[in-house]
Structure 1
Amino acid sequence: MQGSSVKQDVLHFMVGSNDQMLWKSQGLPDYQLAYENAMIMLQTHLFPIIVDPNAEAKQWLVNYLGQGDRPLEVIQYGGSKFVKTLELSVRFGKTLLILDVEEIEPFLYPLLKRQTQRHGASDNGVSGGSLGRPVICIGETVVDFNEQSFRLFLITRNSQFQLSRPLSAFVNKISFSVTKSGLQGQLLTMVIKHELPELETKKIQLMQQEEQYKMELENLESLLLKELATSQGSLLDNCTLIDSLNNSKKQSEKIKSALEEAQVIQSQLNVQRDIYQKLAQLGSNIYFTISSLHSLNHMYQFSLASFLELVQDNLQNTSVSSGDRIETLCRNLVASVFQNISQSLFKSDVVTFAMHLIKAVGVFATIFFFFFYKKNNKFQESITELEWSYFINDSSKAYADSNGDDSKNSLHKVPSWVPSNAREAFRSFSVAFKDTVIAKCKMLEKEYANIWFEWTKCPKPEQALNKLVDEHKFGVSPFEQLLLVQMFRKDRLYLALHEFICNQLDIDSLCSTSRQHQLSERIRSEQQANANTTVLFITTAGADPSQELRDFADATVGLDHLVEIAMGSNQKEHCLLAIKEAAEKGNWICLKNLHLVTPWVNDIIKTVDSLQKAAGFRLWLTTEMTDHFPSVVLQNSLKLTCEPPPGFKQNLLRSISLIKKDYFASTNKQKNITIFMLGWLHSIVQERRTYVPQGFTKCYEFSEADLRIATEMTHHMFESKAFDKRTCWTVLKGLLRMAIYGPKIDDTSDLKTLHHYLCLFFSDALIHEGEQNSTSEQLDYVPGIEYLGQLTKVRDISKEAFIQFINILPDVNVPKMFGLPPTSDALGQERSVMDTIHHLKKLCAVSSGLAPSSGSDACNLQTQLWKKQLSPVIDLWTTLMHEMASLEKESETSWKHIRSMSERTQSISPIADAIWLELTKAKHM
């Protein structure tokens, strides 16, 4: 019998279908692992510690245990009444469910190990005998132990929970962490319930009918055995028994026929269900792609519940009238996941996530022509393993899969048109792709030499390659084109990656996924920011969402309903009291700088979870990136990263969106343009930090507060009755240099750069009269003068008009806009590509099991790595020892001869004694 059959038979042997359906109705997830865990949990003697990161087992246990005869107690671990409730439950034999276990403290060890003692008189009158009552120590308290009735279940939401070695043998650790197959079945059930609810109803009815038939068959067998056991006399003469046997046989045949018919119907239902298997498999792959992101950053942790909400929203929001509904659902799911997860990532990791997502789901067309069944009902991978391995520079695997070609044999095949800096790359590339990409592109044919030579010299090869492939019908895929850019023009690989991702994910630009309007567009949704949703802002230097949150609260509930607390060493009790008050009144509360008090975060969240919250209650958290932030909070919160948007254009849009609309309501054109130029200046100095050390010598911490203070100050200056046009520029430039931006700059050359910007941007030459009378020295530092020259010509000076003006700017940074040489961005782009490839290697290692996906796997993985690294040394040592033994056997005769000589000459010559002593030492060595 196969292993899978045995596994399934054990489950059905231990738990009947009726019990399984009962568990499902009580909230147990409908997949194999959940039923197996429930079976082990209820039928083993050891106390279970349940790893339940998605809160799947908690609700089922509450419903299941609550229906029993014994009273059920549910309590938070470490709460104020925790120890007292535990003692009472042990004494009176209650069922105790302990939630949110972070670690098991030593005072619980005797209970979990069942280290009982006997107190009371025994049969011989001696205290402590075998008939005394059982007691157990809980801390320093001795409590009567009701062994027969007491049941204990511990639940932790920490997927990386580890038991101590002394305790692991006495506690049954049961993990509800989802598996790929389990999640696929769960998603399939969800999809079927939404798309074909009648099919799911038929399946349940069929299971109930099948279980009823089996019960009837068992009853017939039991009745027959009973009649045979109670029969008297000869069996052949017992007509009643024979008639009963005949009736039982007929009924048994009918039941078996009905069961066979049910199996046929079940097979037909499974065929209909398999139509949606593709979507379920896609969803499972996507979730595990997301779950591997925490290997890049501890803050990138996401719960299964939030992912299932995305899937459910996708099912509800996709139009039923779509042409190919399954393909549309797949496309919309990928787009929705990318949009939602990207807002929780730092901009430097968005490209990595996009490439990892594309590889995981097999997307390989401009508008998602993917996931059609091929042979053996397997999905066709769009990016081959050889191509992917070569892309992430895993050349050893690439060469191993390339038909064993010797790179030395291809030295003479490098065409003369290949640039000198790409010849080595071409040699290695031709080893792996000589019969595919090289052949399809006809790179070894002389008539195409000039074409490829001209392409390698063009300024934008990633765009020219598309035209070249279409014109000559080379038939290479988009990813193969990416490999060509990587081989010949690494300086353009960064931009080629962006273009490739945009084509595959059907988005206009990666910049469109930036969080420039995240608070106003993302948080305003009541479905995602309700009383039970914690919003966590992950902040960086120069990006603080506090003011934006205040503006949002002012426009929504009023500032008097927003409570802000900056966390510190003495703020815990004050914080907990403020949370309780806010929950009662339905206010908003924002806790800042949680990275300073990470040990308290779990206590804060437990307090929030235990409260009855009014409808208007909202909890907002801010923290900087830290590896000590609790994983449970990260997984169960809506995360938004706060950092300057990528690119000057997006940065400027963000800056203008932060400026109050009232500041642009004036009819004073000079004032409005000046305020706009403050946003331009802020974006310039922010974005120049990406060109360190060419833009600035170091990365200065300019923040959104700088822009807010500058615009507020300028607004009041222009509105003041004492406003003087003759001195306004001097005052403004002095404040910007000496009070706002200048104090953060500690390098003379950087301060000089800021001074030149101020002189250009805030002068009558640009703003008032519209004339560009700048000196040649100033022109060296002019950022985007070709665009600023059009600024004074606009008639509409409203905020909306300025936003339209920003839209004409290029999406990608141009060094000329910052007064830098054209090659300034090459170093930064090359560094970004190297980081992306390094991160992709790490993600691939996690996905393939070559790196720890969580802390629980780190110890086992380290042991495997040690074994792998030490094995060659151990093998060599074993070989040497074997050879040494052989040498000793071969030289034994010689040693006997030397020993006999020494004995004969020992009394004759002291020289012989010395030689014998040295030889003896050499033998031992």
Structure 2
Amino acid sequence: MWFRTESGRQIKGNTITNLRKLAKPPEAIMIVLDMALILMKRRIDPIRIDYNLDEPFYVPSKTEILRLLNFSGLLSTLLTIHKIQSYHAINKEVIPIKDKVQKAENSLRKASRKLARAERELERTEIGLAKCQHDFDAAMQTKQTYQSDYDALLKRRDDANTLISGLTGEKIRWNEQNKVFEQSIEKLIGNTIIVTAFLSYCGPFNQDFRQRMINEWQKQIQQRTIPFSDNFDIIEQLNDEATIGEWNLQGLPNDDLSIQNGIIATSNYRYPLLIDPQLQGKSWIKNMERDNDILITTFNSKMFRQQLEDSISLGRPLLIEDVDEELDPILDHILEKHYVKIGLTLRVKVGDREVDVNHTFRLYITTKLANPTYSPEICARVSVIDFTVTQRGLEDQLLSLVIANERAELERERVTLARETTKNKRMLKELEENLLIKLTSIEGSVLDDPSLVEVLNANKRIATEVKEKVSIAEDTKMKISTAREEYRPVAVRGSIIYFLMSEIALVNHMYQISLQQFLGLFHDSMIKSHKIAATQKRIQNINDYLTYRTWFYTTRGLYEDDRLMFTLLMALRIDLRRGKIRYDEFEVLIKGGASLDLNTCPPKLFRWLNDSSWLNLLELSRLKEFHDVIDRLQKNERAFKDWFDKESSDFSSLPETYENLNVFHRFLFARCISPDRTISEARHYIQDSLGIKYSEIPVLSLELIWEESDCKTSLLGLLSSGADPTSNIQALAKKKNIDLFIVSMGQGQEILARRYLQQTITLGGWLLLQNAHLGLDYLEEFYETLIATDTFDPSFRVWLTTETHSEFPIQILQSSIKFTNEPPQGVRAGLKRTYGLINQDKLEYIETIYWRPLLYATSFLHSIVQERRKFGPLGWNIPYEFNQTDWEASVQYIQNHLDDMNPKLNISWKALRYMISEIQYGGRITDDRDRRLMITYAKKWFNDLLFSSDFKFYDGYSIPKVKRLDEYIDYIDKFSLIDPPQIFGLHANADITYSTNRAKSMLEKIVYIQPKEASSNISGGETRDKIVHNLANDMLIKLPKNFIQHEVREKLQNMGILNPMVIFLRQEIHRIDRIIRIVRNSLNDLQLAIDGIIILNDSLRQILDSIYDGRVPIDWTRYSWESSTLGFWFSELLDRYTQYNNWLNYGTY
């Protein structure tokens, strides 16, 4: 085996041979060979084996190595043996290890076999485990699926419970609302018809007429079996509480009419045109569109067209304010919405240009005219809306002002509460809408949308909070409302007075007043009235001050004939609201028996009663307090006749029941039975109702008016015969040391007026435009200049004088302080006015006993000659314009005469009488008899007896023996308000005619200005139109047939056609026949108009108003005769027809 090694193969055969030849081989060779034998496991000589292989390996020396090299292969053998020896040495250590390894390997193999068996077992187990794991995973997945389904079901259950819980509160309401919706769907057509008709047609009408139209539409729809809602409410149909609340905060009154107006203005397809005399609508629009950057302009603005184009193209709201009855044609295409679509852009023609239309553009138009007449073309292009403030709406507005002044914290709380309530209601509405949108937008089950529950929970939480706030707000609102209502009497009084001040403009166009002026007076009354802690007393103080302040402010701007009428109507309106008088009593007072037909009434009982008084008594008997007046009149004729014939209206001579009548019922009774006593009893009633201070108009003070004014408030004097205030204005300017520039308006004076206006605005001073009615074209420019100017000299003021003119700019009338300079009615008022113009220095001008008596006598004469004009031809044959300058000239002459008179000589009475009666006053007199009367006055009162102690003008009218001015005023105050005719030198009967005519004129004016929709039949509660319809029907039944003309000609021919009386009869028959035809046609048309078959034009409206008021329509009197009442006129028509018919047919007349 060793020889098979690399070392053994290197030993060649000859090497072995050579070694055999050696007898004693070298020691090294022997050792090598021994080692080889040992390796070969051969037997060697033990003797020779003297070395120990366990000892370190033999290492031959260099010499021995050389010897070994001589034997081929021995060295390598030696080396191999050496390696083997090394191997052996190592193996001695390795073998045990190998044994251990072998044992370990054996153990390992056994273990491996066990492991293999275990692994096989494990594999089988793992396979089983994997199967079990798979089964487990499948089971767990199934479980997880079931758990997920379970959890999902639990969540759905919870969500469902949450939804049920959250929607349970809405269930009842939604179920009810669902029923309402179902009914609404069924009634949608009818409701839509009414709503669209309302938006299209109801704008120009008041609340009463709108409701009547809606009722009529409902009736027509019902007849056609079209379903509509039973409790139809136009506001509920078109708006919601949140929006209405926002409108209220923006200044829209909270009454139904104003809310309806807001709906029409915002919901109509056509642009709105607001009839807005009180500027309520304009104020609301400005507030509503403030955040939208609204533009405000007028047709007169130089920038109007540019502003219009900018608004259309930029989508800004545009308000055109203060238009008249015509609109600028530049608006035609815009109002008619003649838009041209180019691509996605709309364009409209504005003049000669086309402008892009922004879809957010909105147009509003307003007018201050209270009763404008717009053409059908304008009405078709715009939505005309009557925004005239209602009494209830004004009450609420005034109540807020009162509370803001008296209980500011309460008003702030109310406003804050209103804002929060509106916000909360809007939030509730939005939450509900969002929830409904969410519910309706879900695809599949509502439980599949997880956000729904979140929305519902959030909504529920917020809704709960909001509802709590709303509930708290409602409770707080009730408390605030209760506290506010305590002050409502002030608002009620203010509302009554404002509407009366507005209605008085129907008597005269110049009496216009704006709501802003009234609000200024209202605020002034709260500030200046006496303050006291007791609420009720404080309210009384405000009402008293407000009533007198507004009465004084208004009456000084009224002509003298209208002042008593206004004062009486104020007392009546206040007492009507207080409940002290009833409306049926009020109607009897102002109308009497004007609507009764004498021919159909019971015959007159006594000849001393005239027909008018008899009809009045019949009407009076319908009142419960006077139900037996006719019977009492029959039983106590003597007592009633004695009272009737007396000059005074002393009720003590009447039977006991009527002796104890209250002041108003005495007034009512006297008006009916003795019309000439109406004025005197009206004064008594005014004193009883309002107070004695209302019985006499205070003396006009231009200085006081000037102090009330400001630079933008004109002072407007209304001219009348002999009442030009120019001299008074000049005197005041001189007293105040202010420059006065006077321009008498007329053709070509605008340039001068314009220059003076700019000069006084800049440098100060007063500008007086005389006869402003002659420069109406300039007044528009004048007003615009005042409005546009921001900086004035503090002393700047504008005075205007004008006659009544129907086209005088309403803007100036409503923004100016008006006054009249007419002499007041009554000697007492005239003397007070005269002595109000002088001072103590004037009384002490001359130290002589003659001066003060002469001054008083001249003043008394001045009042007499002026007051005598009220009697008409009985006073002066020709009405003369006696004025203050006549008195001033007379007084100046007396001063000069006394200055020049020799103290030792007497007064030259002849010269003095001549100067007064024929120069100063007589210079105006043209009638000889009037001149003679004036001379008689002078002879009677200007003589030596004037200074005697027993001198008197008339019983109770003498010259006071006093020296101070206040003593003269006190003496004059003791005079009676009602002057006896004898003081003027007239018979007592002269006052009957004057008083009767004045009472008739006053009551006719009161009837004329009454709101036509406010009245109803006092017995049956019928509407005004129904009453007139029935009256027209009765008149048509009684109206005779027209004459047949060919029969008339034949009968007249037989009577002698050329006979003067026959000619007269022919003419009268022709006239009466034409009148009957006119009356019949008018009444037939009126009935058709009331029934809605034809249009109620202005002529028919005037006839309707006249018949309701018991007056003869103007269209009838134009072709007939004058009469005091409609009843008398119609009776006379029948009587004339009967007379002419009898004359024609029977020859008797």
Helix, strand or coil at the partner of 1:591: strand
Helix, strand or coil at the partner of 2:801: strand
Give the Cα separation in 2 of the matches to 1:530 and 1:474: 53
1:362 to 575, 587, 610: 575
CA contact (8 A) 1:87 1:143 kept: no
The one-letter code sitting in structure 1 at the alignment partner of 2:235 is: K
Matched, 1:12 2:195: no
CA contact (8 A) 1:544 1:704 kept: no
* 1:214-271: CA deviation from partner (whole Å, max 9, x where unpaired): 4554565577678779989976688886577566556545544554454444344444
1:784 to 928, 949, 954: 954
Structure showing greater radius of gyration is 2
Q: Label 1:273 to 1:391 Cα distance change in 2 as closer, same or farther (>3 A).
A: same
CA contact (8 A) 1:344 1:639 kept: yes
Matched, 1:53 2:277: yes
1:750 corresponds in structure 2 to 930
CA contact (8 A) 1:50 1:155 kept: yes
The farther-off stretch of 797-806 and 336-345 is 797-806
CA contact (8 A) 2:617 2:673 kept: no
The farther-off stretch of 682-691 and 456-465 is 456-465
Give the Cα separation in 1 of the matches to 2:311 and 2:785: 23
The farther-off stretch of 235-244 and 278-287 is 235-244
The one-letter code sitting in structure 1 at the alignment partner of 2:322 is: D
Q: Label 1:386 to 1:407 Cα distance change in 2 as closer, same or farther (>3 A).
A: farther
1:285 to 467, 484, 496: 496
The farther-off stretch of 823-832 and 196-205 is 196-205
1:320 to 532, 537, 540: 532
Helix, strand or coil at the partner of 2:250: helix
2:336 corresponds in structure 1 to 113
The farther-off stretch of 837-846 and 540-549 is 837-846
Give the Cα separation in 2 of the matches to 1:157 and 1:328: 33
Give the Cα separation in 2 of the matches to 1:868 and 1:831: 30
2:734 corresponds in structure 1 to 554
Q: Label 1:258 to 1:821 Cα distance change in 2 as closer, same or farther (>3 A).
A: closer
1:569 corresponds in structure 2 to 747
Counterparts of residues 59-78 of structure 1 (less than 5 Å): 59=283, 61-62=285-286, 65=289, 67-68=291-292, 73-78=295-300
CA contact (8 A) 1:91 1:143 kept: no
Matched, 1:678 2:891: no
The one-letter code sitting in structure 1 at the alignment partner of 2:567 is: A
Q: Label 1:429 to 1:250 Cα distance change in 2 as closer, same or farther (>3 A).
A: same
Q: Label 1:496 to 1:163 Cα distance change in 2 as closer, same or farther (>3 A).
A: closer
Q: Label 1:80 to 1:763 Cα distance change in 2 as closer, same or farther (>3 A).
A: farther
Structure 1 position 386, deviation (Å): 4.8
Matched, 1:394 2:593: yes
1:592 corresponds in structure 2 to 770
Matched, 1:701 2:881: yes
RCO higher in 1 or 2 (8 Å CA, sep ≥ 6)? 1
Q: Label 1:845 to 1:187 Cα distance change in 2 as closer, same or farther (>3 A).
A: closer
CA contact (8 A) 1:15 1:39 kept: no
2:609 corresponds in structure 1 to 421
2:564 corresponds in structure 1 to 351
User: Structure 2: which 5+ runs fail to align?
Assistant: 1-228, 1017-1024, 1033-1078, 1094-1149
Give the Cα separation in 1 of the matches to 2:445 and 2:356: 56
Structure 1 position 163, deviation (Å): 3.4
1:340 corresponds in structure 2 to 553
Q: Label 1:622 to 1:23 Cα distance change in 2 as closer, same or farther (>3 A).
A: same
* 1:287-322: CA deviation from partner (whole Å, max 9, x where unpaired): 333322223222222222222333333333253345
Give the Cα separation in 1 of the matches to 2:589 and 2:810: 34
CA contact (8 A) 2:643 2:650 kept: no
Give the Cα separation in 2 of the matches to 1:622 and 1:63: 37
Helix, strand or coil at the partner of 1:542: coil
Give the Cα separation in 2 of the matches to 1:255 and 1:148: 35
The one-letter code sitting in structure 1 at the alignment partner of 2:770 is: K
User: Structure 1: which 5+ runs fail to align?
Assistant: 119-128, 364-369, 372-379, 400-405, 773-781, 851-857, 879-925
Structure 1 position 397, deviation (Å): 7.4
Q: Label 1:383 to 1:6 Cα distance change in 2 as closer, same or farther (>3 A).
A: closer
Give the Cα separation in 2 of the matches to 1:237 and 1:828: 92
Q: Label 1:554 to 1:724 Cα distance change in 2 as closer, same or farther (>3 A).
A: farther
Structure 1 position 731, deviation (Å): 4.1
Give the Cα separation in 2 of the matches to 1:809 and 1:631: 40
Structure 1 position 481, deviation (Å): 2.0
Give the Cα separation in 1 of the matches to 2:487 and 2:597: 35
CA contact (8 A) 2:719 2:820 kept: yes
Matched, 1:608 2:786: yes
1:819 corresponds in structure 2 to 985
* 1:423-446: CA deviation from partner (whole Å, max 9, x where unpaired): 995697368538944578897499
Give the Cα separation in 2 of the matches to 1:702 and 1:238: 94
1:498 corresponds in structure 2 to 683
1:309 corresponds in structure 2 to 520
Give the Cα separation in 1 of the matches to 2:611 and 2:271: 65
2:1019 corresponds in structure 1 to none
Give the Cα separation in 1 of the matches to 2:1010 and 2:510: 19
Give the Cα separation in 1 of the matches to 2:461 and 2:334: 56
CA contact (8 A) 1:592 1:622 kept: yes
Matched, 1:461 2:649: yes
CA contact (8 A) 1:659 1:708 kept: no
Q: Label 1:530 to 1:149 Cα distance change in 2 as closer, same or farther (>3 A).
A: same
Give the Cα separation in 1 of the matches to 2:361 and 2:608: 78
Q: Label 1:14 to 1:175 Cα distance change in 2 as closer, same or farther (>3 A).
A: farther
The one-letter code sitting in structure 1 at the alignment partner of 2:927 is: D
The one-letter code sitting in structure 1 at the alignment partner of 2:928 is: T
* 1:770-797: CA deviation from partner (whole Å, max 9, x where unpaired): 798xxxxxxxxx9438744x55xx3x54
The farther-off stretch of 614-623 and 77-86 is 77-86
Counterparts of residues 411-810 of structure 1 (less than 5 Å): 420-421=608-609, 425=613, 429=617, 433=621, 436-437=624-625, 444=632, 455-456=643-644, 458-462=646-650, 464=652, 476-508=661-693, 510=695, 512-513=696-697, 515-520=698-703, 522-523=704-705, 526=707, 528-556=708-736, 558-560=737-739, 562-612=740-790, 613-659=792-838, 662-664=841-843, 665-720=845-900, 728-767=908-947, 783-784=953-954, 787-788=957-958, 790=959, 794=961, 796-810=962-976
The one-letter code sitting in structure 2 at the alignment partner of 1:197 is: A
Give the Cα separation in 2 of the matches to 1:445 and 1:59: 58
Matched, 1:142 2:364: no
2:378 corresponds in structure 1 to 167
- In the superposition, the TM-score normalised over structure 1's length comes to 0.75
RMSD value over aligned CA atoms?
Answer: 4.4
Q: Label 1:263 to 1:151 Cα distance change in 2 as closer, same or farther (>3 A).
A: closer
Give the Cα separation in 2 of the matches to 1:805 and 1:235: 94
Helix, strand or coil at the partner of 1:565: strand
The farther-off stretch of 716-725 and 199-208 is 716-725
Q: Label 1:35 to 1:407 Cα distance change in 2 as closer, same or farther (>3 A).
A: closer
1:101 to 323, 327, 350: 323
Give the Cα separation in 1 of the matches to 2:583 and 2:285: 45
Structure 1 position 488, deviation (Å): 4.7
The one-letter code sitting in structure 1 at the alignment partner of 2:731 is: D
Matched, 1:383 2:582: yes
* 1:628-650: CA deviation from partner (whole Å, max 9, x where unpaired): 32333222322212211111121
Structure 1 position 180, deviation (Å): 2.6
Give the Cα separation in 1 of the matches to 2:392 and 2:583: 23
CA contact (8 A) 2:593 2:615 kept: no
Q: Label 1:175 to 1:486 Cα distance change in 2 as closer, same or farther (>3 A).
A: closer
The farther-off stretch of 259-268 and 232-241 is 232-241
Helix, strand or coil at the partner of 2:988: coil
1:922 corresponds in structure 2 to none
Give the Cα separation in 2 of the matches to 1:490 and 1:243: 81
2:183 corresponds in structure 1 to none
Give the number of aligned pairs.
Answer: 799
Alignment identity in percent? 23
